[in-house]
Amino acid sequence: MAEVILFYFLMAFILIAALIAVETTDLLSAVICVGAIGFGCALFFLFLRAPDIAITQIVVEVLALVILIRVTISRNATFVTGDREFFASVVSVVILMMIFLMAVQVLNSLPAFGDAVFAEVTDSASKTYISQGMEKTGAANIVSAVILDFRAYDTLGEATVLFTSVIGAAVILRKRPRKLPEEPQI
């Protein structure tokens, strides 16, 4: 039970950081608050018994902060002016609240927090991974057994997406335009 109270504290921290990140007018503060959300998430993952995710989240968060600070710092437009038109904002807030209320109804139909969903499904894939993962792959860490053996193609796709996005960023940020091929002499 003490753990659940801890989860509520962490969730409150993350939500407060998110509200500050959304509402502050200084872009650098907003970026730092997003960093706070990320590290709060890393702590959350650690207490949710997901140490691999926590480590990855910390590494990715540091990189993301560096990237985001790169875009905000040394730009003269670090201050945000205002929101969009008042009427449009009100309409979007109302729609978002409706979405939230409907989602709460849906989330109530899930099993309560702490009862793993997969435990109630007979023959779920997760159970197979837990009970036979070590025997089939030889990895004591079931998560690495899943990402590197059972679902290795998924990891290959991930690497492909990552490199594609890096190539895309490099192409977009390239300073000099590509040299056009010279006109053929006729």
d(CA 49, CA 51): 6
C-beta of 123: minimal distance to another protein in Å?
A: 13
> What's the min distance (Å) between Cβ of 51 and another protein?
6
Find residue 79's DSSP bridge partners: 26
44 binds another protein per the rule CB under 8 A: yes
Q: Minimum distance from CB of 122 to another protein (Å)?
A: 14
Touching another protein, residues 122-151 (CB under 8 A) = 125-127, 129-135, 140-143, 145-147, 151
Bridge partners, residue 26, by sequence: 79
- Which residues, numbered 82-101, are part of the site for another protein (CB under 8 A)? 82-84, 88-89, 92-93, 96, 99-100
Kindly state the tokens that stand for 31: 């970026």
Does 152 bind another protein (CB under 8 A)? Our answer is no
Closest CA to 43 of 30, 33, 57: 57
The one-character DSSP state at 174 is -
CB 69 within 8 A of CB 28: yes
Whichever of 88 and 182 has its CB closer to another protein, that residue is: 88
Identify which of residues 77 and 186 has a Cβ nearer to another protein in the complex.
Answer: 77
